Amino acid sequence: MSLKNKACIVGIGSTEFTRNAGRSEIHLAVDAVTAACVDAGLEIDQIDGMSSYGTAGIYAAELAPDIDVARSLGIPNLRYFGQTPWGGGASCGVVAHAAMAVASGVANYVVCYRSLKPASGTVRYGRPTAIPAEYRYSYYMPYGFASPTMWVATMAKRWMHETGATREQLGYVALVSRENALRNPRAMFYGRPLTMEEYLHSPMSSDPFTLHDTCLENDGAVALIVTTPERARDLKQKPAFIAGVGFGTSYDSHSMTSFYRDSIGLPECTEAAREVFRMAELTQKDIDVAQLYDAFTATVPMQLETYGFCKYGEGGAFCQGGDRIRLGGELPINTSGGMLAEAYIHGMNMIAEGVRQVRGTSTSQVKDAQNVLVTGGLGVPTTALILTQGN
Amino acid sequence: MSIEYNPKYMKHFYDPVWENFEDGFWQGIKQRKLKFQKCSGCGTFSHPPRVRCPKCKGEGWEWVESSGKGRIYSWTVARQEVHPAFRVPFEIVLVEMENEPGVRLISNMVDCTPEEISFDMPVEVCFREVTKEWALPMFKKVGG
């Protein structure tokens, strides 16, 4: 018994990505779910499951809870509802849970969504307010060690020291993302090119990161609809099959502060990679395009290593010059612009882009893309998906 | 140079909370002693503390006072404001303790500029008073 190809993504929907959406998280979620239903050719009342995620345990309570979104949509009943923890690390797991729900018959049409407005709302994800009640923050907050950028910077700096990766190599991740965004009218950075000169001369926010190494801050929501292949036949779109799912925590996992392992890195990804490739019965060579969670530039080459596209210490060189990761290269990445240049929707927008690649409708389409790897957030327990044509 | 705080926010940021199994660490801090959890069964150190030893699954822990000596394992320098409670720039160091294998500690330096910090630089613990109730373990250069 395997989950392979037992579920597929049949609808994707999104709001505009903006600095000020002018409406609440619940409203944004309602709009994205509606768009996903229209895309799929599904009536809203057919939705009978919701899989979502937030930042409980890191920041404030969830601001677009499933029952509030369902209530505003007028959905009569949710036969399945579930939340996945650990912020962006959950993104692909949210879809994995939806796949499990439809494959097991618990629900028929599960909507996955993420809605957030850090640009204009009350909860700004990069900003602390005080020591949260969770005990683990007492080891960090009193020292001013209080933002995701600082946490990941500390990890990335050690990784750069151990591997010899350079700022310029990280710069190519930012540049390639920006190139992709220039072809994507939805992207926050559409029409705003970036040069290596600008990248290298941008002031440090938290060493070794500048603003160009960290993701966007924007408002918006993205929703996806998951159902079974049988039901997908009656819907409008070519389905993106969920060939593999992977979860990983690895040993001594903390939320963004896993500083106590033999070697700082992303061992969660190594675990998630093993699971996702095993289920999909594919190898790294089979992947045509990857959407690698990019809240920070450095975690892209770190994932190239931990997802097995190169050896430890080679991720920086893989990105050098950008040719291997740009459109036409050996592993094009983050073809919508990713979270560095399209929008920060906690990875849900990167899954939507994975679906577009399978459909053949990306603004940076990889020719004949058969197999797409999508990954979840880093420095936290993480999740991954392989989306395919289902052949 | 050292981290500087805006007193307005002291209560928000300097009022640690902890679980029962971490009590030894924070009681040690109150006495200005840096103590780490050591498994009385197999000698494994753990920081932050845990309920059971990850190696032998025992729940017998000793709280051992550290020599306080360590080396810089990684660091970052906050140059853009994170929160008005902390005046930038300030540095965060991740110190690998010399005598407690596997133990690393996040802290600040008290006596050097961000530019002076380097990988493997030897440091030792000192306590800096941050509120009336709390002095926290921070680090200074060895011989500094």
ipTM value: 0.96
- Type of residue found at B106: I
Q: Is the dihedral of CA A303, A305, A310, A313 positive or negative?
A: positive
- Among candidates A136, A260, A264 on the partner chain, residue whose Cβ is nearest the Cβ of B74: A264
Task: At A2, list the tokens.
Answer: 């395997």
* Alpha carbon A140 to its chain's center: 26
Q: State how far the Cα of A80 lies from the Cα of B48, in Å rounded to an integer.
A: 37
Residue to mutate among B55, B86, B92, B130, with most A CBs inside 10 A, is B92
Residue A154 forms contact with B (CB below 8 Å):
yes
pLDDT tens profile A27-49: 999 999 999 999 999 999 999 99
Looking at residues A315-327, what average pLDDT do you find?
98
Q: Which residues of A touch B103 (CB under 8 A)?
A: 260
- Type of residue found at A71: R
Min Cα distance A80 → chain B (Å) is: 34
| Exposure letters A37-51 (e unless 16+ CB within 10 A, then b) | bebbebebeebbbbb
Task: At A187, list the tokens.
Answer: 């992207």
Q: Which residues of A touch B107 (CB under 8 A)?
A: 143
Domains and CATH numbers, chain A: 7-123+215-388 (3.40.47.10)
Q: Which residues of A touch B47 (CB under 8 A)?
A: 260
Residue B101 forms contact with A (CB below 8 Å):
no
Above pLDDT 70, what percent of chain A? 96
Q: Do A146 and B86 touch (CB under 8 A)?
A: yes
Q: Which residues of A touch B77 (CB under 8 A)?
A: 204, 206-207
Q: Which residues of B touch A262 (CB under 8 A)?
A: 102
The residue whose two tokens read 């550290």 is B66
Long-range contacts of A322-326 (CB under 8 A, 24+ apart): A322/A172, A322/A175, A322/A176, A322/A179, A325/A172, A325/A173, A325/A176, A325/A300, A326/A176, A326/A179, A326/A180
- The 10 Å Cβ neighbour count of residue A254 is 18
Task: At A384, list the tokens.
Answer: 């991954």
Q: State how far the Cα of A327 lies from the Cα of A335, in Å rounded to an integer.
A: 8
**Chain pair A-B, CB pairs under 8 angstroms:** 119
Provide the phi-psi class of A87: left if phi over 0, else alpha when psi is between -120 and 50, else beta.
Answer: left
- Whether cis (ω within 30° of 0) applies to the bond prior to A208 is yes
Q: Which residues of A touch B136 (CB under 8 A)?
A: 142-143
Residue A147 forms contact with B (CB below 8 Å):
yes
Q: Do A135 and B80 touch (CB under 8 A)?
A: no
Residue A252 forms contact with B (CB below 8 Å):
yes
Min Cα distance A202 → chain B (Å) is: 12
Please enumerate in sequence order all residues whose Cβ is within 8 A of that of A261, keeping only pairs 6 or more positions apart, or say none. Answer: A250, A251, A252, A267
- Whether cis (ω within 30° of 0) applies to the bond prior to B89 is yes
Residues of A with catalytic annotation? 293, 344
At A133 the pLDDT is: 66
Q: Do A157 and B74 touch (CB under 8 A)?
A: yes
Please enumerate in sequence order all residues whose Cβ is within 8 A of that of A115, keeping only pairs 6 or more positions apart, or say none. Answer: A25, A26, A28, A29, A32, A63, A64, A69, A220, A221
Q: State how far the Cα of A371 lies from the Cα of A380, in Å rounded to an integer.
A: 25
pLDDT tens profile A341-371: 999 999 999 999 999 999 999 999 999 999 9
- The 10 Å Cβ neighbour count of residue A262 is 9
Antiparallel, parallel or unpaired: β B69-78 and B90-97: antiparallel
Residue A260 forms contact with B (CB below 8 Å):
yes
Q: State how far the Cα of A148 lies from the Cα of A58, in Å rounded to an integer.
A: 10
Q: Give the three-class secondary structure for B128.
A: strand
- Among candidates A133, A254, A257 on the partner chain, residue whose Cβ is nearest the Cβ of B17: A133
H-helix segments, chain A: 25-40, 66-73, 91-103, 148-163, 167-182, 196-201, 229-232, 267-280, 299-306, 315-319, 338-341, 348-359
Phi–psi pair at B4, nearest 5 degrees:
-120, 140
Looking at residues A192-196, what average pLDDT do you find?
98
DSSP assignment, residue B109?
B
pLDDT tens profile A135-163: 688 999 999 998 899 999 999 999 999 99
At A59 the pLDDT is: 53
- Among candidates B16, B78, B134 on the partner chain, residue whose Cβ is nearest the Cβ of A144: B78
Q: Do B13 and A130 touch (CB under 8 A)?
A: yes
Q: Give the three-class secondary structure for A361.
A: coil
Q: State how far the Cα of A90 lies from the Cα of A54, in Å rounded to an integer.
A: 9
Q: Which residues of B touch A205 (CB under 8 A)?
A: 78-80
Tell me the β-bridge partners of A82. Answer: A51
Min Cα distance A2 → chain B (Å) is: 31
Q: pTM of the prediction?
A: 0.96
Give how far Cα A69 sits from Cα of A20, A344, A358, B134, Å: 20, 20, 28, 44
Min Cα distance B56 → chain A (Å) is: 15
**Minimal Cα distance from A206: which residue of B?**
B78
Antiparallel, parallel or unpaired: β A204-206 and A110-116: unpaired
Q: For the CA atoms of chain B, what is the radius of gyration?
A: 16
At B4 the pLDDT is: 85
What is the average pLDDT value for chain A, to the nearest integer? 94
Q: Do A146 and B106 touch (CB under 8 A)?
A: no
Tell me the β-bridge partners of A226. Answer: A9, A110
Task: At A268, list the tokens.
Answer: 């969660």
pLDDT tens profile A85-142: 888 999 999 999 999 999 999 999 999 999 999 888 877 776 776 677 676 889 999 9
pLDDT tens profile A203-247: 999 999 999 999 999 999 999 999 999 999 999 999 999 999 999
Q: State how far the Cα of B6 lies from the Cα of A327, in Å rounded to an integer.
A: 48
Residue A251 forms contact with B (CB below 8 Å):
yes
At A58 the pLDDT is: 54
Residue A214 forms contact with B (CB below 8 Å):
no
At A223 the pLDDT is: 98
- Among candidates A141, A205, A262 on the partner chain, residue whose Cβ is nearest the Cβ of B13: A141
Per the model's pLDDT, the better-predicted residue between A73 and A127 turns out to be: A73
Q: State how far the Cα of B60 lies from the Cα of B63, in Å rounded to an integer.
A: 10
Please enumerate in sequence order all residues whose Cβ is within 8 A of that of A183, keeping only pairs 6 or more positions apart, or say none. Answer: A363, A364
Residue B131 forms contact with A (CB below 8 Å):
no
At B9 the pLDDT is: 83
The residue whose two tokens read 């509120």 is B131
pLDDT tens digits, chain B, 144 residues: what are they?
Answer: 578 888 888 777 888 889 999 999 999 999 999 999 999 999 999 999 999 999 999 999 999 999 999 999 999 999 998 888 899 999 999 999 999 999 999 999 999 888 999 999 999 999 999 888 899 999 999 975
Q: Do B16 and A142 touch (CB under 8 A)?
A: yes
Please enumerate in sequence order all residues whose Cβ is within 8 A of that of A1, keeping only pairs 6 or more positions apart, or say none. Answer: none
Query: Is A352 within 8 Å of A369 (Cβ atoms)?
Result: no
Residue A190 forms contact with B (CB below 8 Å):
no
At A54 the pLDDT is: 83
Tell me the β-bridge partners of B75. Answer: B93
